[in-house]
Amino acid sequence: MAARPEKNPSSDSSHTGRRQATSYDVARHAGVSQSAVSRCFKDGASVSKKMRDRVMKSVKELGYQPNAIARGLITRRSNMVGVIVSNLNFYPEVLSELSARFTDRGVHVLLFTIDHESDVGRIIDQLWQYQVDGVVVAAHLEQDQVALFEERNVPVVFYNRSYQDVPVSSVCCDQVEGERKLVNLLVEGQHHSFAVIGGPKDSVVSMQRTQGAIDRLHSLGISDIVQADGDYTYQSGRVALQEVVKQRGTVPDAIICANDIMAIGCMDEARYHLNLDVPGDVSVVGFDGVRSASWSSYDLTTIQQPVESMAEAAVSMLLDRVDNEQLPPEKRSFSGVLRRGSSVRE
């Protein structure tokens, strides 16, 4: 799509014709200096009650609104944070939690959505231009992109991404521990053959989950494992199960999916297209604990991410670093909770 043309001069001037009151207008109306008006809108600035009353009377009469953007130029703080999310459809709860928590603290969210995690580079320039106070990233960045935040002195917290050798703050669900819990449950339940279905290739979370499951299976002496890849969508879960059956000639005892939505796709494919009983013929597990996983039709066994705790941690870590940029990077890892549904034979 084409870039927008610049606003033409004629509409610009008509805008000015009905322009909003400025702090200059307020100062003139109240018969005080502009800096006195500014002080009335600055927390902690010294202003007499008489002066404040006088200014506020003019503010009210003129319908003046202090300009947060102009104030940001003075305080060097925009009171905006950037939030970068990939695959928005899979993160509505996370975005909702982050947005509500920032809003509660008087901070606004500049939203960037990207289709593929690898697209993130092109939006970083835009972040600098808006001089956001900090950024929460729920998408994959290359290490050299991560370093840009440090160079620019912009605090950043990664949500559900971590970088082992890069000193950067992150909040994660422990993917590997979660997969260990799922595998342990399945192996205790006498499942001997497995399929592991991964998400998009550029997703680090998916990689950690699938590798976590495979490593745990290996460590328990299980080698009857086939792998297939999806892209986190329902349809890709269905296709992956078809592929698994094609590879093995039959369904395995259990299918471990890198997220809940693909697990839901697997369950529907098994039940409605392969005429299999879940969990009678095949057990299915997911990861995330999304709402639909708990619907009675699925009642999926999964790892529930503690989204509220993770969002709260991300918001407070970020704002702490905006307030005090000397704070060192910190990695926080939250355990997911095994949610035992009825999609696993026990």
**Contact flag: residue 328 with a copy of itself (CB under 8 A):** no
- Report H helices in 33-160: 34-40, 49-62, 68-75, 92-104, 121-129, 143-152
Which stretch in 120-128, 172-180, 184-192, 252-260 sits in contact with a copy of itself by CB under 8 A?
120-128
**Contact flag: residue 109 with a copy of itself (CB under 8 A):** yes
Residue 61 to residues 26, 57, 258, 305, 344, Cα–Cα distance (Å): 9, 6, 59, 51, 67
Residue 63's CB: how many other CB atoms inside 10 A?
Answer: 8
Q: Between 64 and 103, how does the x/- string for binding to a copy of itself read (CB under 8 A)?
A: -xxxxxx-xx-xxxx-x--x----xx-xxx-xx--xxx-x
Identify residues 141-200 at the interface with a copy of itself (CB under 8 A). Answer: 151-153
Length of the chain counted residue by residue: 346
Contact 198, 258 (CB under 8 A): yes
Q: Is the peptide bond before 279 cis (omega within 30 degrees of 0)?
A: yes
Q: End-to-end CA distance of the chain, in Å?
A: 54
Shortest Cβ 264–a copy of itself spacing (Å): 7
Q: Residue 91 or 194: which CB sits closer to a copy of itself?
A: 91
Residues 6+ apart with CB under 8 A from 62: 21, 25, 26, 29
Q: Between 280 and 319, how does the x/- string for binding to a copy of itself read (CB under 8 A)?
A: -----------xx--xxxx--------------------x
Identify residues 13-32 at the interface with a copy of itself (CB under 8 A). Answer: 14-16, 18, 20
**Contact flag: residue 46 with a copy of itself (CB under 8 A):** no
CA distance 158 to 117: 13
Q: Residue 187 or 300: which CB sits closer to a copy of itself?
A: 300
Which stretch in 190-198, 222-230, 249-257, 271-279 sits in contact with a copy of itself by CB under 8 A?
271-279
Instruction: Map residue 226 onto helix, strand or coil.
Output: strand
Rule CB under 8 A: choose which of 46, 50, 129, 144 binds a copy of itself.
Answer: 129
213 alpha-carbon distance from chain centroid: 23
**Contact flag: residue 5 with a copy of itself (CB under 8 A):** yes
**Contact flag: residue 104 with a copy of itself (CB under 8 A):** yes
**Contact flag: residue 323 with a copy of itself (CB under 8 A):** yes
